[in-house]
Structure 1
């Protein structure tokens, strides 16, 4: 195995030119003659980016990791991000959660990602380290004997992966839940526990929660390039920092670390991130009482600190900023140093929820700090104060980042962000910085203008008040284009307009798939759950979602094709929160039927656009309701293996007496647009009834489609030819092959239209064809946004 040193590789990078392998279209019967191209409907971001890593050797080589949406590499020429893990398939969907990334400083073509989404039973698979020798074009997989948590608490700490610059064949990995420190000696191909490392990191955020009861473990690994030492941060207030002076053969606790980083001040903090200033011989560490990314500081006392270790003397110095415009600093997330300007470092608060996060900057190794914004008080110290800023936030390209809000005094609609764990100054360019938030990536190439601005606030003796000092603000703008991280819950493809329900963001209306056009904000869904449209009047669209507060109803309605929306009446007894459920609208748009998501309330219907609701007769709580696309009075429902039909616009339902349908597991069904009573049903669960069924008589009788041993989502689009039956699309498994399948002959034959390079992990929520563009299909992913495919020219 070739080994090279960091020093020997400065200024050089090896680039391999291998292509992503792909497979021919798999098929059930016949061969698919259509090759497909795949794109994202543009939202720009939409999810949490917990890590941004610049390569130390090769300029413009940057990676961004996401918690559920894979890994991306920056493309400098287009100023966009390229997805690297779309090859992750259904069986290993957990690999789409990236807990850490490491880019090799010696051979920059090498990159590693620690993957695995959940450490609890939500993800049945174990974690892995995926490794690439060609900048992420192709990948190998090294499976691990434990789980990793790309979407668990603490996912913004780290990085847990690190390449040893003195011997780049050696890669370290910090693991959670008692698994300690791991090491590979062959470029990530095989891994073994470092038995000499004495601690595992037993800090737990919340032992009572199945989600937050992780032992956070070994958090980060970093290297002293001057002294040749390896430092490791551990989630243990009593044992937070270790060092090896013999390349990992033995390990010792760092003197004074417990007092500086851990439990000595009574807050029991842990070392969340670290950064070296090699020129000045400093190791900087940010601490927090909580691994993040959601919580701020404790009710009393300091939430975290910034500590500086002198590598020469072993002396610890508390360099925590002393000033926060709103009072106590809640804690810290991201930390970065400027490699080209020794003594310069930056840190971000977490979570300074109101009015905004603060980015701190120091040019004297933490002795003094400046804030990214500050308050300006009048002579009477009136509330709220004015705010003055070092930079303006440009959300062009992502107008939805206002979340429908307007500026409210010092609380701007467009914020610095929240959950800022990813904070990185370009090691090759002091003017460039990027930081990740819970929704986007912000960045600028004018960072050093900060240092010429001086103070933000001064004092007017004559007026006896503060004043904003004149500065020329620079611009921070969206730097997330190409990175799509939404979790799509449902799709309504109307032809020219696509409406989606999305986790965490509510919903979007796309009239142009290349623009992040409109976020649905009335009602103000915290997460969208379902969308539907009237089959005979596509101007009528309905959606449901989770809501907060007591104002908005769970259902929203548009009568102008999605251009404007209105909320509906909150149903008595149904609280906010995760109760969005599912909603359907009759083919003529006259009746809305909503199934609340509380699991205890029977479906309700409305004939006045949701202003009043009445209980549906004949359906149990939780029943899934869909409308016939061609018959205005016909609606259908499914619950626990039983199928129901309504002939009076959804007011009453009766069982069809159908048998042979799956009684357990998630089930969906959809109606064919042009044929009354023509239905397709998918779902079930492994080790039970699971697959696809078809009915041509309104659900009275069902025939199983034997092509598929598993099927999870189904939809319809424009048929082939002037009078062709709708094309059918499904996310399913045929002959052991998972994929996106299409039939153009009413299900007589099926062709897989995606390939092994385009799998997008889990695609079981929804698919939909376009009613006006033959061959176009929309695919809901859980973290890679809305994917759509077209037949290649």
Structure 2
């Protein structure tokens, strides 16, 4: 269970500096600790930097009887609860940590609410059904009795794919409305499962005993499996088991399991199942959503394809399941462009209001939301071409919900957040973007400028690109590319922070294309580099770096490539003398470059080894502005560990020439002589075997920021790592002599990736959680 702890771990860790085997102790790095109070204190506030949306909300779930109570699930960024009183979202899974492989559980595949108790909420989590080697990964179920303030979790006996294809399929987790401690889960790879004790233990139902192997999962691709179930009962409470239910089965799993239909019925609580005939024109289709109304009618969406933004044809049918009346009536169809995604129904019979989502349409004027007010007899468009308040409201419209307390309030998802209208009955409804505090962007790199710069930081992120953030409470507007793109990495010129350089991937081109860019006016205007260095076009991974030493002088290290430099702002590039980065097993790996802010003629390059089975990490030093490099023999003597690119980090103290800090995934190293020698700090240590799921890395991210007043060291140091077996974010105010934990168990974010310290405000760091955008402290 996650509970908030306001404590410091460990109790003032005395991390006296000691040299590695074969390494040298740098001057002033060891001996008596400075006469300065030991590092104490932790972050007292955590706030999301404003973007608004930015990621794929895969499902919205209203409580059936409590007005205004709603939850949203996301593919990688956890879950949120709607705060009806102030019109904002409250993240409820920030306590999911990194230990025990918990970063795998920040993707939510399904949410279920207890209809008889609005305090109870359940999440089924897991990002992928298999690991990189094709081995199945089982998911978890999280249970909360206080609307997500605290959680208890149980391991599941089947895989979960919250970030896999078809992740917006209707809720796979369903609670029996008359006996909510009985629940079913429609799994992707292992059939239909049942629990009679609120998710603590599970047994496979009689629908199918087939459990797909890793090889079968790999061969099929993103398996949709058993998609969802519906109870033939809308009563709340009573304690009696609901015996009759229906299960939709995707053809990908059904074919392997030997099932003969895409819809099955059970009349004995899931013990046994019989196939239900579906209309011949949808045989072999997927069922992305289905709902039941209080009169016992089912509204079922069929689509030929499955997955986010899937193309049609698509059909909406009404199905009468009462008293054996299993007849079908077609209500709507779409044959071109996008297919059908979500469906929601308010009321019953001939006056039922039906909202139908059209997904995979890439035009503001195309069909987006179809609405019927007469049970499906006629339809009209209520989103495409209507009044919207900025942003893209079309695309992945894979879930739609009519507010059960207000039929004019309709919400739908896209690939970048949530949209809503409060006047659906209008001939021309207006729409807004209710995404306040719903932050699901994925930052890949972040860099902060010196104090006094006209912006806070440069954020390089997946899907949304690169942005210059001038106001933490306002969505940024300064970016180099409006199209769908990735920002891979960036740098700012310390002597003139108006000059910014970066690299990214334009996802809107076919094929996708790498581009480099620069701004000379703090992001108000941008230009692309006229050419790309060798290796950049063919290596679009964010596992690389770019730095600038002065205007027009840039060094770019694309993933898998020898870094190159330009002296003419990208008109031409020349290869440095660095060797190609390590490439063990084909894993993406590049150099981490940093510029000495006091002497920009010095540039440092770090090769992490690329993987835990790769060669030892190495540091190279340039004294001619990044044109030629020499191997630091001190880094060889330090015996740096070999780790994947994203488990390592290197930064420079901008206040002192030659003052470097490095995290090799296992430990923290410090050099005060431009990388000539390195000293390993005690205290940080990895827990767990290399490559083991749940391994706690000793030190994976390091950042420096403004020093505490009176500190003997000119920068505050922040490290993401493990001390005394406890993973977290740690800080030091005395140059690494003592450490205190800076975060707490309620603020773990499924792990911390990119991080940078602020040079204007002591105690402020910007860091990315797992799909939680950027968070800043204090």
Q: TM-score range by the shorter chain?
A: 0.7 to 0.9
Q: Which residue of 1 aligns with 2:445?
A: 490
> Is structure 2 residue 153 aligned with structure 1 residue 194?
no
Q: C-alpha displacement at 1:223, in angstroms? A: 2.0
Q: Which residue of 2 aligns with 1:38?
A: 46
Q: Given that residues 111 and 135 in structure 1 are in contact (C-alpha distance below 8 angstroms), is that contact kept between their aligned partners in structure 2?
A: yes
Tell me which of 581, 592, 597 is aligned to 1:629.
Answer: 597
Q: C-alpha displacement at 1:484, in angstroms? A: 0.6
Change in Cα spacing, 1:266 to 1:721, as seen in structure 2 (3 Å) is closer
Change in Cα spacing, 1:593 to 1:329, as seen in structure 2 (3 Å) is closer
Q: Given that residues 539 and 558 in structure 2 are in contact (C-alpha distance below 8 angstroms), is that contact kept between their aligned partners in structure 1?
A: no
> Is structure 2 residue 736 aligned with structure 1 residue 741?
no
Q: Find the aligned partners of 2:512 and 2:640 in 1 and give their Cα distance.
A: 39
Q: Find the aligned partners of 2:394 and 2:671 in 1 and give their Cα distance.
A: 49
Q: Find the aligned partners of 2:567 and 2:329 in 1 and give their Cα distance.
A: 65
Q: C-alpha displacement at 1:286, in angstroms? A: 0.8
Match runs of 1:702-781 below 5 Å: 702-709=678-685, 710-721=698-709, 724-763=713-752, 765-781=753-769
State the secondary structure of the residue aligned to 2:179.
coil
State the secondary structure of the residue aligned to 1:530.
strand
- Comparing 769-778 with 614-623, greater Cα deviation is found at 614-623
RMSD: 2.7
Match runs of 1:401-412 below 5 Å: 401=391
Match runs of 1:91-106 below 5 Å: 91=99, 92-106=102-116
Q: Which residue of 2 aligns with 1:698?
A: 674
Match runs of 1:461-472 below 5 Å: none
Q: C-alpha displacement at 1:201, in angstroms? A: 9.6
Match runs of 1:304-323 below 5 Å: 304-312=314-322, 314-322=325-333
State the secondary structure of the residue aligned to 2:289.
strand
Q: Which residue of 2 aligns with 1:480?
A: 435
Q: Which residue of 2 aligns with 1:591?
A: 553
Match runs of 1:303-702 below 5 Å: 303-312=313-322, 314-322=325-333, 328-339=336-347, 342-354=351-363, 356-372=366-382, 389=385, 391-395=386-390, 401=391, 414=392, 416-449=393-426, 453=427, 473-494=428-449, 495=451, 496-518=455-477, 520-522=479-481, 526-548=485-507, 549=509, 554-571=515-532, 574-575=536-537, 578-579=540-541, 582-597=544-559, 599=560, 601-621=561-581, 622-639=590-607, 640=609, 641-657=617-633, 658-659=635-636, 660-666=639-645, 667-684=648-665, 690-702=666-678
Q: Which residue of 2 aligns with 1:10?
A: none
Q: C-alpha displacement at 1:477, in angstroms? A: 0.5
- Comparing 473-482 with 748-757, greater Cα deviation is found at 473-482
Q: Find the aligned partners of 1:112 and 1:320 in 2 and give their Cα distance.
A: 33
Give deviations 1:252-289, integer Å, cap 9, x for gaps. 322x23xx2xxx4387212221011223x320111223
Q: Find the aligned partners of 1:616 and 1:39 in 2 and give their Cα distance.
A: 41
- Comparing 331-340 with 77-86, greater Cα deviation is found at 331-340
Q: Which residue of 2 aligns with 1:79?
A: 87
Q: Find the aligned partners of 2:310 and 2:539 in 1 and give their Cα distance.
A: 19
- Structure 1: segments with no counterpart, 5+ residues: 1-17, 298-302, 375-388, 396-400, 402-413, 454-472, 685-689
Change in Cα spacing, 1:430 to 1:750, as seen in structure 2 (3 Å) is same
Aligned residue pair count? 691
Q: C-alpha displacement at 1:752, in angstroms? A: 0.6
Q: C-alpha displacement at 1:193, in angstroms? A: 1.8
Q: Find the aligned partners of 1:712 and 1:77 in 2 and give their Cα distance.
A: 40
Tell me which of 166, 172, 176 is aligned to 1:164.
Answer: 176
Q: Given that residues 542 and 583 in structure 1 are in contact (C-alpha distance below 8 angstroms), is that contact kept between their aligned partners in structure 2?
A: no
Q: C-alpha displacement at 1:354, in angstroms? A: 4.2
Q: Which residue of 1 aligns with 2:689?
A: none
Q: Which residue of 2 aligns with 1:687?
A: none
Give deviations 1:540-595, integer Å, cap 9, x for gaps. 22221112549986222122223332211242674377255533334444521111
Q: Which residue of 1 aligns with 2:292?
A: 276
Q: Find the aligned partners of 2:66 and 2:234 in 1 and give their Cα distance.
A: 20
Q: Find the aligned partners of 2:440 and 2:111 in 1 and give their Cα distance.
A: 17
Q: Which residue of 2 aligns with 1:290?
A: 305
Q: Find the aligned partners of 1:95 and 1:705 in 2 and give their Cα distance.
A: 32
Q: Given that residues 547 and 578 in structure 1 are in contact (C-alpha distance below 8 angstroms), is that contact kept between their aligned partners in structure 2?
A: no
Change in Cα spacing, 1:252 to 1:65, as seen in structure 2 (3 Å) is same
Change in Cα spacing, 1:334 to 1:608, as seen in structure 2 (3 Å) is same
Q: Given that residues 433 and 447 in structure 1 are in contact (C-alpha distance below 8 angstroms), is that contact kept between their aligned partners in structure 2?
A: yes
Q: Find the aligned partners of 2:715 and 2:287 in 1 and give their Cα distance.
A: 57
Q: Find the aligned partners of 1:282 and 1:185 in 2 and give their Cα distance.
A: 27
Q: Find the aligned partners of 1:124 and 1:551 in 2 and give their Cα distance.
A: 30
Change in Cα spacing, 1:668 to 1:357, as seen in structure 2 (3 Å) is farther
Q: C-alpha displacement at 1:21, in angstroms? A: 3.1
- Comparing 646-655 with 339-348, greater Cα deviation is found at 339-348
Q: Which residue of 2 aligns with 1:148?
A: 160
Q: Which residue of 1 aligns with 2:692?
A: none
Q: C-alpha displacement at 1:717, in angstroms? A: 0.6
Q: Find the aligned partners of 2:43 and 2:605 in 1 and give their Cα distance.
A: 36
Which structure has more relative contact order (CA 8 Å, sep 6+)? It is 2
Q: Find the aligned partners of 2:272 and 2:85 in 1 and give their Cα distance.
A: 45
Q: Find the aligned partners of 1:133 and 1:173 in 2 and give their Cα distance.
A: 20
Q: Find the aligned partners of 2:148 and 2:462 in 1 and give their Cα distance.
A: 28
- Comparing 141-150 with 558-567, greater Cα deviation is found at 558-567
Q: Given that residues 586 and 628 in structure 1 are in contact (C-alpha distance below 8 angstroms), is that contact kept between their aligned partners in structure 2?
A: no
State the secondary structure of the residue aligned to 1:94.
helix
- Comparing 97-106 with 667-676, greater Cα deviation is found at 667-676
Q: Given that residues 329 and 352 in structure 1 are in contact (C-alpha distance below 8 angstroms), is that contact kept between their aligned partners in structure 2?
A: yes
Q: Which residue of 1 aligns with 2:122?
A: 112
Q: C-alpha displacement at 1:350, in angstroms? A: 2.2
Q: Given that residues 112 and 131 in structure 1 are in contact (C-alpha distance below 8 angstroms), is that contact kept between their aligned partners in structure 2?
A: yes
Q: Find the aligned partners of 1:438 and 1:636 in 2 and give their Cα distance.
A: 39
Q: Find the aligned partners of 1:392 and 1:180 in 2 and give their Cα distance.
A: 43
State the secondary structure of the residue aligned to 2:103.
helix
Q: Given that residues 53 and 418 in structure 2 are in contact (C-alpha distance below 8 angstroms), is that contact kept between their aligned partners in structure 1?
A: yes
- Comparing 342-351 with 673-682, greater Cα deviation is found at 342-351
Q: Find the aligned partners of 2:466 and 2:220 in 1 and give their Cα distance.
A: 28
State the secondary structure of the residue aligned to 2:670.
strand
